[in-house]
Amino acid sequence: AAGVIQSPRHLIKEKRETATLKCYPIPRHDTVYWYQQGPGQDPQFLISFYEKMQSDKGSIPDRFSAQQFSDYHSELNMSSLELGDSALYFCASSLVGTAYNEQFFGPGTRLTVL
């Protein structure tokens, strides 16, 4: 079965650079969630989209923005990168109306800011 695809899997950037993370949800899923997991920490919710509209927002820095496109894939744009942005970024997708809206996680993108 198709799973959530995240690209790239690994990304290395310098401070103050910009990064774009991409998420391709499971086909027919209409909701995407982004989570950030710092080293040794638990995943923290950043933002979610349902049918291309932002549905919820967590502790996402103003330097970050995200959107969901017409084909339901989502992109997380991160500007003015800081060392503290180094983390594992997970995307999850779900289909509203199914059993609980269970979230299926992608493999994550590991971002390293030097």
Partner 1 sequence: AQKVTQAQTEISVVEKEDVTLDCVYETRDTTYYLFWYKQPPSGELVFLIRRNSFDEQNEISGRYSWNFQKSTSSFNFTITASQVVDSAVYFCALSDNTDKLIFGTGTRLQVFP
Binding residues for partner 1 (CB under 8 A): 31, 33, 35, 41-45, 48, 55-56, 58, 88, 90, 92, 94, 100-105, 107-108, 110
Residue 18's contacts (CB-CB under 8 Å, 6 or more residues apart) are: 77, 78, 79, 80, 81
Q: How far is the CB of 41 from partner 1 (least distance, A)?
A: 7
Which two structure tokens, joined as six digits, stand for 34?
Answer: 């982004």
Which two structure tokens, joined as six digits, stand for 110?
Answer: 């590991």
Write the DSSP assignment of 78-101 as a string of letters: E-S--GGG-EEEEEEEE-TTSSTT
* Between 82 and 102, CB nearer to partner 1: 102
Q: How far is the CB of 32 from partner 1 (least distance, A)?
A: 11
Q: How far is the CB of 86 from partner 1 (least distance, A)?
A: 14
